[in-house]
Amino acid sequence: MSHHDERTFVMAKPDAVQRGLTGEIVTRLEERGLKLVGAKFMQIDQKLAEQHYGEHADKPFFDELVEFITSGPVMAMVWQGADATRQVRQMMGATDPADAAPGTIRGDYGLDLGQNIIHGSDHEDEGANEREIELFFDEDELVEYERSDEPWVY
């Protein structure tokens, strides 16, 4: 992992899986030049959901959020690349898809604040990426390898 590389946690939410958008999300991140280093198709249980969204425990929408994220399978992923956390957030678009710019994932596929397709670690929350990766993955579930086109991408 070169010094400018970082890893970030990304998840195709239950609505993305139900709508068949998992592949589209993977494709967009791959084509951008980010490198997939971990992936897990899984169902989030109540405890993991409450940990993952712990920062929102006091918010009025917390129960709804936990109910949604546990409502069906998700694709949890770790992506690596230059400034990956911020880059993924830019590609996701605004939290509310109604405000997300066309060309962003939420702006192209979503309309509903509660069902907004994709999660990515918050780049303004220092260390959130590594905390979330640790919550979802064991270190030996992450794969280190060279992606052959990397020098061309950056």
106 annotated ligand-binding residue: yes
- C-alpha 4 chain-centroid distance: 20
Q: What's the chain's length in residues?
A: 154
Q: Tokens for 6?
A: 């970082």
Tally helices (H) and strands (E) across the chain: 8, 4
Give yes or no for a contact between 52 and 62, defined as CB atoms under 8 angstroms apart.
no
Q: CB nearer to ligand RTP: give 65 or 142.
A: 65
47 annotated as a binding-site residue: no
Which residues of the chain form contacts with ligand RTP (CB under 6 A)? 56, 61, 65, 95, 113-114, 116, 119-120, 122
106 binds, among Mg ion, ligand RTP, none (CB under 5 to 8 A by kind): none
Q: Three-class SS of residue 22? A: helix
Closest to ligand RTP by CB, 72 vs 114, is 114
Nearer to ligand RTP, 128 or 150 (CB): 128
Dig out the tokens for 100 from the structure. 């997300």
Residue 4 is among the residues annotated as catalytic for this protein: no
Report the catalytic residues.
119
Residues marked as binding for ATP? 13, 61, 89, 95, 106, 116
